[in-house]
Amino acid sequence: MAAHMGRLRHAVLTNQTLLNNWRVIVSDVLPRQFHYSCTLDADTPRPSKAFNKPAPTKAEKISKAMKAYIERAQAQDEMLKRETADYEIGKRHLANIMGLDPEHMTDRQVKESIQYLLPSGLYDLPSRPLMKPPQKVFPKRKDAQFGMDGRPFHSFFYTGKPQFYELLHKVTWKLEALKKEEDKLRDSGALFETEEKTEKLSLHENEWISYDTLKARVMEDISQQDYGQFLKLMTRFVEHPLAHKEARYIMKFRQRLNRQNFGDKIKPLKTAKDGRSFMTAEGYRKSAVADVTVRGHGSGRVAINGSDLEYFSLSMHREQIMFPIQFVNMLGEIDIESQVSGGGSSSQAGAIRLGLAQALTSFVSPDVVEKMRLAGLLTRDPRRKERKKPGQAKARKKFTWKKR
């Protein structure tokens, strides 16, 4: 009898162990709402109503950030629709005023019509009246940086400026690739031959894109410090001996200089009776006017109102006059004669300098003329003495305030 009871107890314990293991396996495989429906005991709890609801899928779980982005995107789209409708109405009114076809009116005709109807003498062009499509006025909106579940797409998302740091990362890896290639050429002994055959990048007629251009390109709020970091990295990239292999990529971040054509303004040299070439020009500064004559094949003589450089007592005025000659490397090769009147010593020196620089353009090449323009030698100084304001001692100075 005891042996039968022992076998029965062993069978019950074995069945209970198998039942527990089976429950664990079912709980891992089947969904949660089926866990209790697959039990064998009659006294086990029944599934509640909460378990009958289907579990939300990943697509239904939208993060708060995604909801905020969708709301902002919808608000901006609605705003653009309203602004576009107002622009089309204004465009039709403008076309009726100007007698043009509103259906085929171009943006250029809109701009010319606004300039005709609302003339402005403001020096700053963005301050003048304008009428542009809303898509050109309002900045572009960056696409969502994360999915419906809130996970970011970009690997640099948590830097705060993913597009900017991705740009730095790409440039850095390109620079590292050039360094590895340079090491291979150095080990093979072909580095010096490669440097002799290749031409360096020509960066004289272009410059790095501006801070505003880079900011608009990455569509992120970068700081001036970030822009300086970008320039420093790109300068290292350009200075590499094998940078010409990435010339196309480098030129994406370069823009041509606003080079003005001075070819039509440069006058040909005149010839005097003694066979010497010369050129005359006028210079202006405040109320001073200077007539300057530059003669070639000279000895470096300078004559100002019948005197020499001692006409100006201050050394800074003398240096200001000699700067254009030193800039074009023509010291001791030309003679200068000048007649100046009006203004003070500062304005007279500025007038002589401008007239001298204008006359020197006929003695040098167009490339040097462009360098002179970039140095500001061919631009008249527009500064003048600011007028006195009523109720003040001077232009900016105030009277001493006394309480009693």
Tens-of-pLDDT digits for all 404 residues of the chain? Answer: 444 444 434 443 444 443 444 444 334 433 444 343 344 444 444 544 444 555 555 444 556 666 776 777 788 788 888 888 998 998 898 899 888 888 888 888 888 888 888 887 676 777 788 888 888 777 666 665 666 666 777 788 778 888 899 999 999 999 999 999 888 888 887 766 655 445 566 777 788 899 989 988 888 889 999 999 999 999 999 988 888 888 889 988 988 766 555 545 788 899 888 889 999 999 999 999 999 999 998 999 999 999 999 999 999 999 999 999 999 999 989 999 999 999 999 999 999 999 999 999 999 988 888 889 888 899 999 888 889 999 999 999 999 988 87
Q: How far apart are CA 212 and CA 209, in angstroms?
A: 8
Type and span of the H or E element at 207: strand 206-208
Q: Is the dihedral of CA 249, 252, 257, 261 positive or negative?
A: positive
Cα distance between residue 47 and residue 50, in whole Å: 8
Tell the residue number behind the tokens 């631009």, with chain if given: 379
What is the spatial distance between Cα 18 and Cα 26, in angstroms, rounded to a whole number? 12
Pairwise CA distance, residues 103 & 134, whole Å: 18
According to the model, what pLDDT value does residue 149 have? 62
Dist CA 175 CA 236 (whole Å) = 8
List the Cα angle 125/130/135 in 5-degree steps.
110
Query: Comparing C-alpha atoms, which of 130, 136, 137, 138 is closest to residue 90?
Result: 130
Return the pLDDT at 32: 42
> What's the distance, CA 268 to chain centroid?
40
Other CB atoms within a 10 A radius of the CB of residue 363 amount to: 18
Torsion of CA 231, 233, 237, 238, to 10 degrees: 20
What confidence score (pLDDT) does residue 136 get?
A: 79
Q: What is the DSSP letter of 269?
A: P
Residue type, 358: Q
pLDDT at site 361? 92
Residues 345 and 317: beta-carbon distance below 8 Å: yes
Gyration radius of the chain's alpha carbons: 40
What does the pLDDT read at residue 140?
66
Give every CB contact of residue 287 below 8 A, 6+ residues apart in sequence.
342, 343, 347
Determine if residue 221 is left, alpha or beta; phi over 0 gives left, psi from -120 to 50 gives alpha, anything else beta.
beta
Q: How far is 341 from 357, CA to CA, in rounded Å?
A: 18
d(CA 135, CA 142): 14
**Which candidate, 356, 350, 349, places its Cα nearest to that of 380?**
350
> Over the stretch 164-194, which tens digit does the pLDDT of each residue have?
999 999 999 999 999 998 888 888 877 666 5
Distance of alpha carbon 14 from alpha carbon 54, whole angstroms: 36
Mean residue pLDDT across the chain: 79
